[in-house]
Amino acid sequence: MEIILASASPRRKEILQNTKLKFEVQKSEIEEAVFEEESPESMVVRLAYEKAFDVAQKNREKLVIGADTIVVLGDEVLGKPKDEEEAFDMIQKLSNKTHRVITGISLINLKKGIVVNDYRVSYVTFKDLSEDSIKDYINTKESLDKAGGYGIQGYGALLVEGIQGDYFNIVGLPISKLSDLLKDHFDINLFYGG
């Protein structure tokens, strides 16, 4: 079965390339709408599904993988900052606190009528960060396309005191969870690539 990753994220692509799975990448064109009354878990699963479904409609025979990642502090969802000032504010909020990183996953094959949605949660604790440390991080230009304003796989690792859970979930694709879902629902083994 041909496989498509419905994501423009270079980080997701790289994680999946670390397995033997053969896949192509197609970016979804959906608007990432946020609804007030929706839980963070429901939101990431819905967005992952919408991304996957958008691409699956044009590729009915193929298995499409969609994913969406958010950062949640208390009840507040921290998306991608619109500018450096907002990135600074986000990282300052995260300083000396533990937050959740939630990634929704959606697997869709329209020809077979199979839709699988799930998510994984990890916890990240930031160090007590000075304003200068936050400014130094913002100056790396790493924060603008990342949920919560940081990327743990880059300089963002310097902000982190510790993590609990799946590291790859924090990067944007919980590969262990994805491996289980592919095996259970599509008989695809990532150890062998199919």
Q: What is the pLDDT of residues 80-112, one digit of tens each?
A: 899 999 999 999 999 999 999 999 999 999 999
Give 3-186's CATH code, choosing from 3.40.1710.10, 3.90.950.10, 3.40.228.10, 3.30.479.30: 3.90.950.10
Task: Report pLDDT for 32.
Answer: 81
For 92, other C-beta atoms within 10 Å of its C-beta total 14
- Model confidence at 148, in pLDDT bands (50, 70, 90)? very high
Listed by start position, the domains of the chain span: 3-186
Q: pTM here?
A: 0.94
User: What pLDDT, on a 0 to 100 scale, did the predictor assign at position 51?
Assistant: 97
Residue 20: pLDDT band by 50, 70, 90 thresholds?
A: confident
Query: What pLDDT, on a 0 to 100 scale, did the predictor assign at position 58?
Result: 97
Q: Are 174 and 3 in contact (CB under 8 A)?
A: no
Question: Could you write out the three-class secondary structure of 73-130?
Answer: ECCEEECCCCCHHHHHHHHHHHCCCEEEEEEEEEEEECCCCEEEEEEEEEEEEECCCC
Is 187 assigned a catalytic role? no
pLDDT of residue 8: 87
Residue of 68, 75, 89, 180 marked catalytic: 68
